[in-house]
Amino acid sequence: MATKLKQYKKEGHPEAFEIWWGCPFQQDSMDFLYYWSVIAGSGISYLHGQVCNGDNMVEKNVTFGKNHSQTMLSILADWPRTKYTVIAGQNFPGTGQIHGGPCNIPTNSLVNDARENGCKFVIIDPKLTDTGAWCDEWIPIEPGKDQIFALSVANVLISEKLYDEEFLLRYTNAAQLICTDTRECLLNDKGNYLVWNNLKQEIQSLPKAGKMDGLSLGYNKTYYTYLKDKKIECKTAFQIFAEMVKEYSPSKFSFKDQVIKIAINLGKNKPSVVFSSGFTSGRYPNWFQTMRAFSIVNLLLGNFDKPGGYYFIKNEFNVSNGWPVPPEVPDYSKDKKLVPAPYNNMTLEYNIDQKPCYLKPRKYHPAVASLPWLHFQAMEEGKVKAILSTTENSVLTQQNTKWVRECLNKLDLIIVGDQFLKEFSDWADYIIPEASFLERNHLYYNKYISSDSMENLLLYMRSAAIPPEGNSKPLSWFLIQVAKKIGLEDYVENIDLQYKWWDKILEKAKLFPKVSAKKLIEEGPYFERYPVSHNLLFKPIETRSGRFEIYSNELAEECYFNPKSEWHQNNHVNPFPVEIEIAQPENENEFFLICGKASWHQKSATQHSNYLMEYALEAGCPYMPVYINSTRAKELGFSDGEEVILECVGPRKDQDQCVINDDSIGYKDKAIIKTTEGLHPKALWIYWASGHEEKSNTMASKTKKGVKMNWFLPTSATPYSAGVGKNYSIVKINKIKG
């Protein structure tokens, strides 16, 4: 590795070497990985990020602003006082509960508290999951139709006047004036957004959040004004959205009565409600606009910083990273432009994941976690030549496995550092026996609301239970040795990732020496508790209007109306959440192939364990088969337990502009089918990571019989938000001849 790094540096391209990492909660210090990549000048990517929550974070930044985005992303709510909850595609047990940070147990407990306190839960999901069985109601939605569902709910809320008018006027840009024919916003000569003042009967600048100043929603009204001697017809953002959702009458939706009931329950129980599109994102190319539609429904409900609604925690530990700073080490930022990276880190702007985000105009939003397909394209072009992969498994977990492997074959060097043998281990030139999470220390931070109406801030060390066994070492130890071999010893000489690194974080948070890594290990977690306080403007709203946005000024200015943008006039970045159609199964024996995680497995990391592969754990829901709706199976002549052939038939490039590479079209694999009534008729469903093929692993042999999901996934990416279609596969199911 040191030899290759020296070579690439001599050639003027140290970024030809990249670190890929996948899970922040299995990972040796991701802080150190980013620090190391900066001092070495190498590339780095949280490659798993867009498969997880990457474009969800973009949407929350676009709609709510950076200061308020994390709460919405994490579904952080005042759960004990919530009365009604609707969540799409979130399976609490299978996905680590509702994400509140690395320590999800408090949040899961609070969801149960809400249920015990009388909160009703509705799950929107094509598959009846663990959560679906736990909820009061399950809506088996057609794959990719969640946006239509959300817009139908908005239709009812508006037509029945169940929205919170004061909240919309005080905290959102619902009153902002939009030109009727072009859908561009109105600006004065100073570049201020404009609204109609109902008291003065004139146009004025949009006031700061918190002020109403005679604003009107302009419901069923049209306004006229003159700008530069031209008469302009305009309407409020609220009115245009209201007109837009008229076509989404629940009568057009397959669950008409349920939609009406859900909307009325949300409206009558507001603000003590939660309406969420779930944590993970990038399911289909329309998911960015789907999440926008869900967010706008919440804005209609005004369920923010009020009992039982979403809650913005006011107190924080100022947790950043443990990087040493000059003069402790030489200045590593000299002649380098550093930009924000995941989990409070910094990285080099020229990295593949960052460079497109800092163009003018931006190609992607800076909040994207990664741009994985660009890394594979860079391999094809010879720009990335070597990688170190840790706690991620791209040869299994990235879209379009065939293409991914073709790209990996072009590399000079593949090193895998990991705690478990995975597919990537078989591709490695060298394997680093990385110490597991049980053999090293790591600091974690979480915040949540407890049942007694208190904000809870929590710091704890996941401390080493045993020293590293055999020849295993933390990955950071290995990278320090490499740094010394390439002349970077001054940057790593005194680094101690057992204690000092974490103490540096605590020092930056102004908690050290009262709180130290050693004290957290010896004395247990550190808590601070504060009474719940409701003040939505505890921090400024960092959108372009300074308000939560129904009409996205960022999408309008950066993309949709910007002739220099690659996404000019592209409806994926329309400032309103317009419906985005996705490719559909075309023939009787074609289905969407979708997946979900098993509650007894950790993503793709634990199928090596024979104990976790025991049939008894499956409780009648076997891990290996592909699930099919019972009625559809009968119509097609398939029986439970029959072996069939699955073939990828879409989406193709000619069906969807978001498809970048469709090499997976035509891929076939055998599967055993399991019939069930708990699945939408247009979907086939599998457990994520049920199919494996390692040669070097001790994995139970039955995993070889499972379906390898990502072989069936064409590579797709959503404009600006970079969502990857991790469920966007259309397959044909056929009988095995003979």
Task: Please compute the mean of the pLDDT values over residues 179-190 and round it to a whole number.
Answer: 94
Q: Which helix (H) or strand (E) holds 2?
A: helix 2-10
As a residue count, the chain comes to: 738
Structure tokens at 410: 């072009």
Range with lowest mean pLDDT among 42-46, 141-145, 618-622:
618-622
Region 350-354: mean pLDDT is 96
The 10s digit of each residue's pLDDT in 99-122 is: 444 445 566 778 888 999 999 999
What pLDDT, on a 0 to 100 scale, did the predictor assign at position 102? 41
Give the pLDDT band of residue 95 (cuts 50, 70, 90).
Answer: low
What are 383-426's pLDDT values in tens digits? Answer: 999 999 998 899 989 999 999 999 999 999 999 998 878 889 89
pLDDT-based confidence at residue 253 (cuts at 50, 70, 90): confident
Could you please report the per-residue DSSP string of 573-600? Answer: G-SS----------STTEEEEEEE--TT
- What pLDDT is recorded for position 99? 42
| pLDDT score of 103 | 41
pLDDT value, residue 106: 60
Low-confidence winner among 236-240, 393-397, 679-683 (lowest mean pLDDT): 393-397
pLDDT at 105: 52
Q: Mind giving me the DSSP string for 455-495?
A: EEEEEEEE--SSPPPTT-B-HHHHHHHHHHHTT-HHHHTT-
What's the pLDDT score for residue 22? 86
Residue 485 scores a pLDDT above 80: yes
Residue 51: its pLDDT value, please? 85
Say whether 454 sits in a helix, a strand or coil.
strand
The pLDDT, as a whole number, for residue 616 is 85
| CB neighbour list of residue 136: distance below 8 Å, 6 or more residues apart | 120, 121, 122
Confidence bin at 698 (pLDDT 50/70/90): low
Higher pLDDT, 71 or 58: 58
Average of per-residue pLDDT across 190-196: 95
Place of tokens 């094509």: 126
Q: Check residue 355 and report its DSSP letter.
A: G
Token pair recorded at residue 530: 């504060």
- For the segment 39-64, the average pLDDT, to the nearest whole number, is 93
* 196/182 Cα distance (integer angstroms): 18
Give the model's pLDDT for residue 100. 43
Question: Which tens digits make up the pLDDT trace of 374-383?
Answer: 999 999 999 9
More confident residue, 39 or 48: 39
Bridge partners (DSSP) listed for residue 176 = 195
Report the pLDDT value the prediction gives residue 704, as an integer from 0 to 100.
63
Q: How confident is the model at residue 697 (pLDDT cuts 50, 70, 90)?
A: low
Q: Which one has a higher pLDDT value, 92 or 339?
A: 339
High-pLDDT (> 90) share of the chain, %: 77
The per-residue pLDDT of the chain, averaged, comes to 92
Per-residue pLDDT at 97 exceeds 60? no
Integer Cα distance of 109 and 656 in angstroms:
41
Candidate ranges 104-118, 351-365, 601-615, 699-713; pick with highest mean pLDDT: 351-365
Going along 228-321, which residue ranges are E strands?
230-236, 273-276
**What pLDDT score does 252 carry?**
77
Q: Of the ranges 20-34, 461-475, 565-579, 717-731, which one carries the lowest mean pLDDT score?
A: 20-34
Q: What are the DSSP E strand ranges found in 70-215? A: 84-88, 120-124, 137-139, 177-179, 194-197, 202-205
- What pLDDT is attached to residue 602? 78
DSSP 625-663: SEEEEHHHHHHHT--TT-EEEEEEEE--TTT-TTEEE-T
- Both tokens of 383, joined, read 């720009």
* 640-to-53, 127, 449, 674, 725 alpha-carbon distances in Å: 35, 17, 46, 5, 29
Q: What is the pLDDT of residue 500?
A: 93
Mean local confidence (pLDDT), 184-188: 95
In angstroms, the first-to-last Cα distance of the chain is 52
From the list 467, 445, 450, the residue with the least C-alpha distance to 520 is 445
